[in-house]
A = this chain, B = another copy of it.
Amino acid sequence: MSNCCEILTLASLCEFLKAHDNYVVLTHVNPDGDTLGSAYGLKMGLKKLGKKVQVVCCDEIPHKYDYFIDDSDCDFIPETVVAVDVADIKLLGDLYERFEGRIDLNIDHHVSNTRYASRLYLDADAAAAAQCIYEILDELGVEFDRSIANALYTGISTDTGCFKYQNVTARTHEIAAELYKIGVDAAEINRIMFDTKSKSRVEMEKRVLDGAEFHFDDRCMLMAITLEIQRETGCSRSDMEGVPPMSRSVEGVLAGVTLKENRENEFKISLRTYDPLDASAICGKLGGGGHKAAAGCTVIGTLDEAKAKILEAVKEALEAADAGSYTTE
């Protein structure tokens, strides 16, 4: 399948978008600010060119994104299928079977993209898929408005930790400047995305910090969000976002481990690392993967068993690093 994936340039992508109509835009499971901001930004932009567009997600969209959700004008039969910010077709979740082999276009920024669509526009230098969408709408000559700006800013801001991470480039800031000129409600968006916690979240954080462990000369911090904590604090899935980066934020910590109990004896492990550790390689040993600084895996077993497995893998990496024999490729 990957052999028949046509790689598009920005120009050929725009020709394709102009030549087609009646779009359905697919987002990934557990939708975040980037997949949603990209999808709705693209929808609003294409609508300005007279196209019909609907956005589809297999999961419910969290209410905090309401300010840019535009589900108007969806009464048409879809013809052209576009996936945005979806690196692997499995990330379509429940939509996977319905759309397998039927995706006409994939717009993405993940270097790990598995090329499952007929056509791919990939900009791996873009900090967010929403950055790609900005370039596309700009190339198409779309007149940006505040709603589009809010959607795209949300994607860029959430995927970069508000311009904090390594993936930001000069171009990311240039685009942000353009979105400000259009009147983006940036401070309000950032307040919703970064500075608003539920009381349940605060309670959960307290419980998780209470149980935090430090290992290997304080170079590894481990936190667990057990089902008990989830139940007793009433925290939601979205309340649990943003916990993994906390595990790496303590001075001297090179490996931050967060174990989230998904169901009895099943733990989703999130690993955040700093140089020289490679989170993807460490999680790879437990059947997972991801990026160098952020990766994950799922472990079946009790909390103690899950802890032991990931700590063993982290320990091996730290020992290899100490011995100077650690390679990150």
Can you sample 5 A-B contacts with CB below 8 Å? A163-B186, A168-B180, A170-B177, A173-B174, A198-B251
Query: For window 181-199 of chain A, which residues contact chain B by CB distance below 8 Å?
Result: 181, 186-187, 190-191, 194-199
The residue from B191, B197, B249 contacting A195, defined by CB atoms under 8 A apart: B249
Copies of the protein in its oligomer: 2
| Bound-state Cα–Cα, A211 to B124, Å | 46
Query: For window 148-186 of chain A, which residues contact chain B by CB distance below 8 Å?
Result: 161-166, 168-171, 173-174, 176-178, 180-181, 186
Query: Could you tell me if B164 and A187 are in contact, using CB atoms closer than 8 angstroms?
Result: yes
Which residues from chain B contact A199 at a C-beta distance below 8 Å? 214, 218, 250-251
| Bound-state Cα–Cα, A99 to B316, Å | 58
User: A170 CB to closest chain B CB, in angstroms?
Assistant: 4
Contact with B along A194-213 (1 / 0, CB 8 A): 11111100100110011010
Most buried by B among A169, A176, A210, A214: A176
Query: Could you tell me if B197 and A250 are in contact, using CB atoms closer than 8 angstroms?
Result: yes
| Bound-state Cα–Cα, A156 to B198, Å | 29
Given the known interface contacts A249-B197, A250-B197, the answer about A181 and B187 at a Cβ–Cβ threshold of 8 Å is: no
Query: For window 281-317 of chain A, which residues contact chain B by CB distance below 8 Å?
Result: none
Q: Name the residue on B nearest A176 (C-beta).
A: B173
Query: Could you tell me if A169 and B173 are in contact, using CB atoms closer than 8 angstroms?
Result: no
Which residues from chain B contact A260 at a C-beta distance below 8 Å? none
Which residues from chain B contact A251 at a C-beta distance below 8 Å? 196-199
User: A138 CB to closest chain B CB, in angstroms?
Assistant: 16
Query: Could you tell me if A168 and B187 are in contact, using CB atoms closer than 8 angstroms?
Result: yes
Query: Could you tell me if B250 and A194 are in contact, using CB atoms closer than 8 angstroms?
Result: no
User: A243 CB to closest chain B CB, in angstroms?
Assistant: 13
